[in-house]
Structure 1
Amino acid sequence: MLGVGGSRRNLGREALRGAGRGGGVGGVGGGLDPQARKRELLRRLEEQRKQREQREQRGQRGQREQRREEADGTARPSP
């Protein structure tokens, strides 16, 4: 009885690994699905940006204090 159970379909590598069924989670090769990878990448980029901004703010505060001390005449001599 040919044809029982639906039409025959040639499956590609992605279909065999679960693509289209939950993003391939738990399939061969494991790893994160593309959206999860994107979320992780954006989270890391945002974290790096915040750290960079904090460093820049600390540096600006130090420069402001140094300028203020120079204007007041209370600047510490550089080694």
Structure 2
Amino acid sequence: MAKTRNNLLGVGGQRKKLSRADQQGAGAARTADRKVAEDKKQELVRKMRERAEAQAPATAEADGNATAAQS
């Protein structure tokens, strides 16, 4: 197949564009850092949900007592 500037169809596959860090071999470390950051985020979300669940029953109790006192 002729390789001309205007007709490159079928010449070769596309290559993934690499960042400078990936080209220099720091890609694996960056991937690990992203994983650690994602783990920290998940842990924070879990703690926030636990706190919200712990406060929800206490708030419901306080509202129930306040309603009973008004009657």
TM-score, normalising length: structure 1: 0.50
**Percent identical residues:** 6
CA offset at residue 15 of structure 1? 3.3
Greater helix fraction, Structure 1 or Structure 2: 2
- The question of 1:14 aligning with 2:22 is answered yes
Any runs of at least 4 consecutive aligned residues in structure 1 with deviations exceeding 4 A, and if so which? Answer: none
Please, what is the CA RMSD of the aligned residues? Answer: 2.4
1:56 matched residue in structure 2 = 56
1:5 matched residue in structure 2 = none
State the number of aligned residues.
52
CA offset at residue 17 of structure 1? 4.8
Gap runs ≥5 in structure 1: 1-10, 26-31, 72-79
TM-score, normalising length: structure 2: 0.54
Gap runs ≥5 in structure 2: 1-18
